[in-house]
Structure 1
């Protein structure tokens, strides 16, 4: 799969370095463009539409071919930049080509559902209002919050709140090129380091962009838009491929759980023999005090003729409740306010649903807990490396295997098959539980966002012979690897 986010960033970077379109020696140099910018600015000052900036600096090219910045007090410093740009481009401060002003505050109570004017906040439309004051296509910069520094345009006549800055720019500069330049600057990195990030006009004004000749600005915008259009197409096709891969995976697992993926063999021990081995193992564990008497009691499934998993299966298979073949343990979350339980350094892996991904094994976790939390909250009981885990709240049916000894939160269970030769049953459950736990046709009619213990207990597992489990695991994992490559 192509990382389209990285591709977009690369195209923008090439555009802003003059590497997206060829240079034309016949183009008017950007230095002439600067003269027109200064003339336009002087006219605006003369008309008293803007004030003269007493601290304005001037960027110029020295005899040595390098660029320098001259300050109001006469001080001259070399222009420090790591960005290379063509000789006929010109470095220029944003203060020379744009002005920003804050939008107008609007109380949430003033927002309406039936207003005819969209209201823009820090990142796009947040509601509607009965009037507006900003024209369609106006460039905005998010001013406050998570989206401070984000760049957008109004799509129609709009109201803009004080969470955004309104950009007015020189008519001499291509507005679309300016938009790309602002995005390339990553203005979000300029926000104040406070609880509520804020970006100021002064920080924006001090930024430097590199201005090509007018004709090249237009060519760059056109070329950029053409390439981004192709990226959008790639993105759309990849999403379609991803959806198809998901459907194919679902179909393959459905076929596997119906006993149609691998051939039957009359010499196989039927699944009923496996169940007897599981019962014998449970009895042994009970006698050793490792499980309770209630764990010996088997759950009966009420067979529903409409249930997809009670359609004709091979005679050697069985349909069994999950509780009858596995023991499982629900996780915990240590008190998040107790600093003695959590650590940013080396600690014990604590898994949340956010850590559960497409990879089979979980190695890293977002958060870690201390040994003190392991002992006091989990009583020293951890899930060993290789344990099968499954989410049963919010995101139901995510499965992973542990890459190392770990603990997890209360939305996840650790699953331990009672009898399992070479983890064959564990690996089979890893594949089928996402389907079973999310099926609206299970005998518990499992729907919604949460499974309780009773619903987990009666998840109906189509149980093949051990040999078929092994072959299903091998074939499905091979198929998933192929899908991963092509999607």
Structure 2
């Protein structure tokens, strides 16, 4: 390789570190670039005094012949020569393109012990599965064990030190680790293949190659199987490997280790920076929420405005800001109170009158009054014009969908389940349908309509959906229906149900272990901070304004990140 070309590549690579630090996935791309340069012979200069790779290959072939004669390995089938159209890029003169099978004494996956999981023991010989194999390390925190007897029966799957272990199926396809020199005995499952190099010294280079973009592209593009991705032994054996001289491999590995250590340091610095930003921001938001008076509130807000660009350079902080906006709203701290507003107590009286009218019309049954909310039950103090009340008191009825399995038809009235609602909006695609006469038989209170609120109560619980459409539909029993009257503060309550306070309350009353459910009795008792109606309008308008601001901040973050990524990509193409 031309020394000037190598120097230019190294210089540009050095410049990448600052740019990579700023780009969202810059450090990941930098690691990929380091390995790509290494596999192309561009990371370190070639030394004309190095013994060429062709000689290394002869030594490996001679050693394989010796192992075959001694009966330690079997002679493999002849491999096809590497054709010119199989060569993805040119190599330095001292390198060689070879099949990976030419370099190894073993390529083979493991197997499942007889009896499957029933064969696992509390202790014994480690049985390595795909979840134990990670890039650069073997993790034993979730390792299974097999007995000595099972281990002896599975001798073909035995792992020894310096083996390369490669995941060959599933989502972890391509994860790759080297067995440490001091590793004791182990076996592997059928989802892991063992690659054992004839010359153990080349294992580090082969490992880096398999982790490189070139190696990963071979692994992912040549997988087989319809139901679950997989990499067959026959395909793996024929991988084309760029083989450098052994002396250059040593220099390459030393350089890779040096540069990867710098990447590790960059990741640590970025993690520390982001953690500090998030910690400082959360502390500032907490000061807003617990502010005892307007002076404390103004001081906390002034800190945020002074450091706005720093605090909102990460999306995690924007997410927390959204939560804080809702929390401040339900505590009466988002907009000022107006002494001319009709107090919330008058609104509650109006709702009660409308509910009494529905009882007389036979649309709903008179509900049992819930106990008044006591002072020791309220989570925070409210402005004097606000009132604490139960959620049930704000709606005609708080109920859920039909408990019986409805009849199905190809076309009719939509029947919505949790999956149609768990994004926070109604998704009509792929919904079921019920007959029109079935829909008409449902009680008025169980027919959601415009200005009602749906609220998921099972599994993905705690998601409110405001209904702004006149479209007819019904819901399953895992969805609560907050049936409104004309005076019900539905827009404000929708925002309140999205708040951290409401979610924490729902979590506190939820029952079940595998799948949590918010019982209707607990939902009806949720203490609600009710503002005067005029203040509700101001709160909703302010929330909408601030959420739009959050949307813009996230767009700005995406734009800034995109610019940094484009800059990094532009520089990387020059290497």
Distance verdict in 2 for CA 1:184–1:221, change over 3 Å: farther
- Aligned-residue offset at 1:462: 1.0
Corresponding residue for residue 385 of structure 2? 316
Corresponding residue for residue 398 of structure 1? 463
Corresponding residue for residue 537 of structure 2? 470
Determine helix, strand or coil for the equivalent of 1:324.
helix
RMSD of aligned C-alpha atoms? 4.8
Query: What is the aligned counterpart of 2:263 among 227, 237, 244?
Result: 227
Higher share in strand: 1
Maintained 8 Å contact 1:268/1:467: yes
Maintained 8 Å contact 1:30/1:90: no
Distance verdict in 2 for CA 1:277–1:336, change over 3 Å: closer
Output the CA distance in 1 between the equivalents of 2:438 and 2:209.
Answer: 56
Maintained 8 Å contact 2:160/2:179: yes
Which aligned pairs between 1:147-158 and structure 2 lie closer than 5 A? 147-154=172-179, 156-158=183-185
Output the CA distance in 2 between the equivalents of 1:42 and 1:333.
Answer: 75
Output the CA distance in 1 between the equivalents of 2:404 and 2:219.
Answer: 38
Distance verdict in 2 for CA 1:440–1:328, change over 3 Å: closer
Maintained 8 Å contact 1:33/1:172: no
For normalisation by structure 1, the TM-score amounts to: 0.71
Output the CA distance in 2 between the equivalents of 1:435 and 1:8.
Answer: 38
Maintained 8 Å contact 2:127/2:186: yes
Which aligned pairs between 1:400-439 and structure 2 lie closer than 5 A? 400=465, 410-419=477-486, 424-432=491-499, 434-439=500-505
Higher share in helix: 2
Higher relative contact order (CA 8 A, sep 6+): 2
Distance verdict in 2 for CA 1:91–1:410, change over 3 Å: farther
Deviations, residues 237-296 of structure 1 (Å, cap 9, x unaligned): 65776684476666654444333443322111111222233234445556676xx231x5
Query: What is the aligned counterpart of 1:368 among 427, 430, 433?
Result: 430
Distance verdict in 2 for CA 1:211–1:272, change over 3 Å: farther
Corresponding residue for residue 141 of structure 1? 166
Task: Determine whether 1:46 maps to 2:50.
Answer: no
Maintained 8 Å contact 2:329/2:335: yes
Maintained 8 Å contact 2:348/2:394: yes
- Aligned-residue offset at 1:328: 5.0
Output the CA distance in 1 between the equivalents of 2:193 and 2:356.
Answer: 71
Which aligned pairs between 1:83-482 and structure 2 lie closer than 5 A? 91-98=97-104, 99-103=106-110, 105-106=112-113, 107-113=116-122, 115=123, 118-124=126-132, 125-129=142-146, 134-135=159-160, 138-143=163-168, 147-154=172-179, 156-163=183-190, 164-169=192-197, 170=199, 171-172=201-202, 174-181=205-212, 184-185=216-217, 187=219, 190-195=222-227, 197-211=229-243, 214=249, 215-224=251-260, 226-227=262-263, 230-231=266-267, 234=270, 238=274, 244=282, 245=317, 253-283=326-356, 292-294=363-365, 296-297=366-367, 299-309=369-379, 311-326=380-395, 327-328=397-398, 330-331=400-401, 352=418, 356-357=422-423, 362=425, 368-369=430-431, 372-373=433-434, 388-400=453-465, 410-419=477-486, 424-432=491-499, 434-439=500-505, 449-476=516-543, 482=550
Determine helix, strand or coil for the equivalent of 1:320.
strand
Maintained 8 Å contact 1:261/1:472: yes
- Aligned-residue offset at 1:8: 6.4
Task: Determine whether 1:37 maps to 2:57.
Answer: yes
The number of equivalent residue pairs is: 450
**Alignment gaps of 5+ in structure 2:** 1-20, 133-141, 152-157, 283-316, 559-575
Tell which deviates more after alignment, 184-193 or 42-51: 184-193
**Alignment gaps of 5+ in structure 1:** 60-67, 70-77
Tell which deviates more after alignment, 263-272 or 231-240: 231-240
Output the CA distance in 2 between the equivalents of 1:44 and 1:477.
Answer: 72
Output the CA distance in 1 between the equivalents of 2:415 and 2:261.
Answer: 45
Tell which deviates more after alignment, 401-410 or 210-219: 401-410
Distance verdict in 2 for CA 1:47–1:297, change over 3 Å: closer
For normalisation by structure 2, the TM-score amounts to: 0.62
Output the CA distance in 2 between the equivalents of 1:336 and 1:120.
Answer: 47
- Aligned-residue offset at 1:96: 3.1
Maintained 8 Å contact 2:165/2:178: yes
Tell which deviates more after alignment, 94-103 or 400-409: 400-409
Deviations, residues 462-486 of structure 1 (Å, cap 9, x unaligned): 1111233334345555656549747
Maintained 8 Å contact 2:126/2:144: yes
Tell which deviates more after alignment, 297-306 or 182-191: 182-191
Maintained 8 Å contact 2:373/2:388: no
